[in-house]
Amino acid sequence: MRIVALDKESKQSILNDLLKRSPNNYSQYESTVNQIIDRVRAEGDKALFDYTLQFDKFTLTAENIRVTKEEIAEAYTQMDENLIDVIRQSAENIRAFHQKQLRNSWFDAKPDGTILGMKITAIERAGVYVPGGKAAYPSSVLMNVIPAKVAGVDEIIMTTPPGKDGKVNPGTLVAADIAGVDTIYKVGGAQAIAAMAFGTESVPKVDKITGPGNIFVALAKKAVYGYVSIDSIAGPSEILVLADETATPRYVAADLLSQAEHDELASAILITTSKELAEKVSEEVDGFVKVLERAPIIQKSLDNYGYILLAESMEDAIDAANAIASEHLEIITKNPFDTMTRIRNAGAIFLGEYASEPLGDYFAGPNHILPTNGTARFFSPVNVDDFIKKTSIISYSRQALEKVHNQIETFAKSEGLTAHANSIKVRFED
Amino acid sequence: MRIVALDKESKQSILNDLLKRSPNNYSQYESTVNQIIDRVRAEGDKALFDYTLQFDKFTLTAENIRVTKEEIAEAYTQMDENLIDVIRQSAENIRAFHQKQLRNSWFDAKPDGTILGMKITAIERAGVYVPGGKAAYPSSVLMNVIPAKVAGVDEIIMTTPPGKDGKVNPGTLVAADIAGVDTIYKVGGAQAIAAMAFGTESVPKVDKITGPGNIFVALAKKAVYGYVSIDSIAGPSEILVLADETATPRYVAADLLSQAEHDELASAILITTSKELAEKVSEEVDGFVKVLERAPIIQKSLDNYGYILLAESMEDAIDAANAIASEHLEIITKNPFDTMTRIRNAGAIFLGEYASEPLGDYFAGPNHILPTNGTARFFSPVNVDDFIKKTSIISYSRQALEKVHNQIETFAKSEGLTAHANSIKVRFED
């Protein structure tokens, strides 16, 4: 793995390279996606059936579009029992962590009769997209569905593309069942997103769409934003390890590779102040690449977006980490909690030698759907807040309004909004 | 004002009409907006200067693009002192309400060495768009800027189009100064949004863009979503009054008109169980329309999107209110708090006879930037959470990871991600 000195130039060039992976750079597919959306909006189920035949080679109908109870029961028999137990335990941990995110409605009351507050309510229906084929990850199903369930969403639906035989990945079905999905529809691609955004005869309109997908799914989500709410649009996975001389090279190397194996656009970066660590990690990486199954993908992603950056000081290293705003950030330093206080931008921070990144992907409880591509500067991990909305509450007594009515009228009139002023004035015109 | 029986058909037809006002229905301007964005991205300041000459007829340069201290001081001298006091008091109320929204980072620690939590950090730089001309509302400046300030955002910039003479509305400048804006740039339109999203030589790149604007501004915000975060895209204003026979017709009528005056696409709806109230409100509206300054706008918006809906039961009325999900909802019933418990979808709820909607627009403290066009089903008022992001925190001890390492490896391998499994395994291979 290449070792590069961390300086202004290398930092900027890496930042530019990483941004090239943005899902925003695929506008050439927008017209195709818009066509699919328009057709689903106009024709409903018929468009879904046509597209499913075209893209998934399966004859979808109003009768077979929903996954049946029997299919879910069958999926359980196709899965290893030990794995089902693991999924259940993971779901339990995810539930426990997300339950701590629940918030109360609140209000503030003053003795003059004023009540101001915010009412928290869950959205009514959420839709989760799950990719088909090799990209069907049961862990992602848990991470999308459980926060909605914990938030108190009334109904959670899922869409996922069927195989040619009309079947859905058993792992997806078991995870959906454990997480508490109400209905699963066998539709994929941009057409599934359109169906959830606008509703069809079979698929009900939802309030929010979450879940990963290919570029067509990502562009479709962006296109329907505003008609419904969406989660942030995920780019390729990333890991950044911030380490000093106290880190174990073998662990750091293994963790870098755990993200590099995702796909060829994935990024794995080590920033360290220790030249020795840099060299040893590079060696360990070479050793692992020889034996790991997904070596071809790993090698390409390391060639494209893998770096070991040697920093002159921990301060420079932290500055670079904040600029990169990595999806996953491991801190393996003498005092990781102290280092953490200076981190401003990251999706998830893993502290110390035993908080290996896959612990967060699979088991600890915090969400693994995290902001990528520098968007941790302003986006958050999927969390319970994504499935609730707030409503302001305002109540004034006559006495409270009377004290301030002149001020409100003055402000409204100054903006030329005289009917606004009038609505306050009429209450005190006697 | 027309009185219509509330039934399934009238409800659906009104919902369809209201949705036609959505800012999503203007895709014909998208290519123009995309061209502007691309040019600003490629050429930076030069594009801003050209567009400002073209659209605003002002020769913008790197020297005059920033509003100076002198211009702000001059703006104060151009404003009524009483009005400045009102703006200050309003700002104080907005600050007090939003301060109650501040949240703490939190963690949960277990005696086996596990720490899980969420770290809350403010975004670094926010950009507020303020329209020029008649649409420059000082109250909106306060509502956009103060939540960011309270959240702890380091730097808040503002963009607003200059007049032909290069001047900016004094109300905008005074409100910006009171709210705590750091720098104001004289740029408007889609080019201002592009400048804040990507940065130019003069305008720094921000993490989040908020603020209202015309359709070009709205489409530009949607186009840059993902590169930066944006607030929800606002549509025309709406008021829905839910009232029974205890309401005072004159107050209800005045409140309906306070929103109808915004523009011809604004919507004002009364839903009531009382035929007498319906008739008296209709009469009062007719009386007010004769005397109010903005009567031509009011009349058009009432003709297009104004309704008095007569419901057979309060239950039906509440169902309709939840379906409409109005930006502003006034509840004027015998027991408004009881009615409120059954409201699920609304931007802001005003309770009782004295919580007139303009009280919320100008003074009470809760934000007046609210979800429109049915998006209160899933969006919230602008609030402090819009200017912070969360980072998951995960720390495990060796002991804690050892207990579960087999389970994590099983889950990772089941998804074919063997390098993920490897990163856990290497920690226990001795």
Give the end of a domain, one of B318, B341, B364: B364
For residue A94, give the CATH number of its domain: 3.40.50.1980
pLDDT score recorded for residue B24: 64
Beta bridge partners of B55: none
Which tokens sit at A332?
A: 């393996």
- Clarify whether residues B53 and B77 are in a common domain: yes
Given an 8 Å threshold on Cβ–Cβ distance, is A258 in contact with B385? no
Check the annotation: does A70 bind a ligand: no
State residue B257 phi and psi, 5-degree precision. Answer: -70, -25
The pLDDT assigned to B25 comes to 65
Nearest-CB residue to A381 (from B225, B375, B390): B390
| A150: closest CA of chain B, how far (Å) | 16
Residue B384 lies in a domain: no
Strands A3-5 vs A306-310: parallel, antiparallel or unpaired: parallel
In a domain, B45, yes or no: yes
Say what the pLDDT of residue A21 is.
79
- The pairing of strands A306-310 and A267-272 is parallel
Model confidence at A38: pLDDT above 90: yes
Provide, as residue numbers in chain A, all residues whose Cβ is less than 8 Å from the Cβ of B118: 101, 366, 383
Measured distance CA(A423)–CA(B263) in Å, rounded: 17
What pLDDT shows up at residue A2? Answer: 93
pLDDT of residue B407: 97
A55 shares a domain with A31: yes
A313: annotated binding-site residue? no
Give yes or no: residues A76 and A209 share one domain: yes
Torsion angle of C-alpha atoms A243, A248, A254, A259, degrees rounded to 10: -10
Asked whether the beta carbons of residue A225 and residue B229 sit closer than 8 angstroms, the reply is no
CA A338 to chain centre: 27
Residue A23 has what pLDDT? 64
Q: How many Å apart are CA A116 and CA B197, to the nearest integer?
A: 34
Whether B392 and A367 lie within 8 Å, measured CB to CB: yes
Domain of A403? 396-428
Per DSSP (E only), the strands in B372-414 are 388-395
The whole-angstrom separation of Cα A187 and Cα A209 is 14
B385 domain residue, yes or no:
no
In a domain, B98, yes or no: yes
What is d(CA A400, CA B250) in angstroms, rounded to the nearest whole number? 20
Task: Report the pLDDT value the prediction gives residue A217, as an integer from 0 to 100.
Answer: 93
Which one of B182, B211, B230 terminates a domain?
Answer: B230
CB contact under 8 A, A222 and B227: no
Same domain, B244 and B176: no
| pLDDT value, residue B23 | 65
Contact A358 B423 (CB under 8 A): yes
Distance CA B103, CA A176 (A): 32
Q: Which positions in chain A touch B358 (Cβ < 8 Å)?
A: 408, 412, 417, 420-421, 423-424
Residue B8 and residue B110 in one domain: no
**Residue located via tokens 């997908």:** A213
DSSP string, A330-364: EEESSSHHHHHTT----SEEEESTT--HHHHHHTS
Task: Return the number of CB contacts < 8 Å for A and B.
Answer: 362
Chain A: closest CA distance from residue B361 (Å):
9
Asked if A378's CB is within 8 angstroms of B24's CB, the reply is no
ipTM of the complex: 0.94
> A344-363 burial, b if ≥16 CB within 10 A, otherwise e?
bbbbbbbbbbbbbbbbbbbb
Please name the residues in contact with B289: beta carbons below 8 A apart, sequence gap of 6 or more.
B257, B295, B298, B299, B302
Task: Tell whether residue A405 is among the known ligand binding residues.
Answer: no
B220 plus B252 within the same structural domain = no
Q: In this predicted structure, what is the pLDDT of residue A53?
A: 97
Q: In this structure, are residues B267 and B18 in contact, taking their beta carbons and an 8 Å threshold? A: yes
Of A130-134, A351-355, A415-419, the least confident: A130-134
Tell me what pLDDT residue A24 has.
Answer: 65
Q: Please indicate, yes or no, if residue B81 is contained in any of the structural domains.
A: yes
Residue B172 and residue B76 share a domain: yes
Q: Are residues B202 and B75 in the same domain?
A: yes
Integer CA distances (angstroms), A152 to A120, A130, B304, B345, B360, in order:
11, 21, 37, 15, 29
Shortest CB distance from A411 goes to which of B119, B362, B392? B362
Last residue of a domain, one of B195, B215, B230: B230
Q: 10 Å Cβ neighbour count for A201?
A: 12
Same domain, A56 and A201: yes
Averaged pLDDT for residues A34-62:
97
Q: Which residue has the higher pLDDT, B203 or A137?
A: B203
Within-domain flag for B287: yes
Nearest residue on chain B to A260, judged by CA atoms? B419
Q: Is B259 annotated as a binding residue?
A: yes
**Token representation of residue B201:** 């030589």
Counting runs of H as helices and runs of E as strands, what totals does chain B give? Answer: 17, 14
Q: Splitting chain B (430 residues) into consecutive groups of 10 residues, what average pLDDT does each group show? A: 93 87 74 95 97 96 97 96 97 98 96 97 97 86 97 98 95 97 97 98 97 89 90 86 97 96 92 97 95 92 94 96 96 97 97 97 96 93 96 97 96 93 93
User: Are the Cβ atoms of B411 and A139 closer than 8 angstroms?
Assistant: yes
| Residue A377 located in a structural domain | no
d(CA B158, CA A293) in angstroms, rounded, equals: 52
Establish if A423 belongs to a structural domain. yes
Mutate to test the interface with A, among B18, B391, B406, B410 (most CBs of A within 10 A): B391
Residue B63, classified by CB atoms within 10 Å of its CB into exposed (0-12), middle (13-18) or buried (19+), is exposed
Whole-number Cα distances in Å, A78 to A75, A170, A414, B4 = 5, 7, 70, 58
| Domain count along chain B | 3
Does one domain contain both A210 and A256? Answer: no
Tell me phi and psi for residue A217, to 5 degrees: -65, -45
Cβ distance of B396 and A352 shorter than 8 Å:
yes
Contact call for B407 and A363, based on CB within 8 A: yes
Residue that has been written with the tokens 């174990």 in this structure: A248
pLDDT, position B29: 87
Structure token digits, residue A125 = 């229906």
Q: Are both B190 and B246 inside the same structural domain?
A: no
Residue A342: closest CA among chain B residues belongs to which residue? Answer: B121
Residue B316 C-alpha, separation from nearest chain A C-alpha, in angstroms: 18
User: B130 and B161 share a domain?
Assistant: yes
Give the one of B227, B336, B359 whose C-beta lies nearest to A24's C-beta. B227
Measured in angstroms, the CA of A215 and the nearest CA of chain B are apart by: 14
pLDDT at B134: 74
Task: Say whether A392 and B260 touch across the interface (CB within 8 A).
Answer: no
A420 annotated ligand binder: yes
Question: For residue A419, which amino acid is it?
Answer: A
**Given a cut of 70, is residue A236 above it in pLDDT?**
yes
B-chain CB neighbours of A400 within 8 Å are 354
Q: What is the pLDDT of residues A62-116, one digit of tens each?
A: 999 999 999 999 999 999 999 999 999 999 999 999 999 999 999 999 999 999 9
Q: B92, B119, B289, B417: best mutation site toward chain A, by most A Cβ within 10 Å? A: B417
Tokens representing B67 are 């509003």
CB contact at 8 A, A264 and A237: no
**Which residues of A form the catalytic set?**
327-328
Half-sphere exposure of A53 (CA within 13 A, CB side): 8
The answer to whether A357 and A350 have CB atoms below 8 angstroms apart is: yes
Min distance A346 CA to chain B CA atoms (Å) = 6
User: Residue A169: is its pLDDT beyond 70?
Assistant: yes
Closest-CA residue of chain B to A350: B394
pLDDT at A25: 65
The reply, when asked if residue A98 is annotated as ligand binding, is no
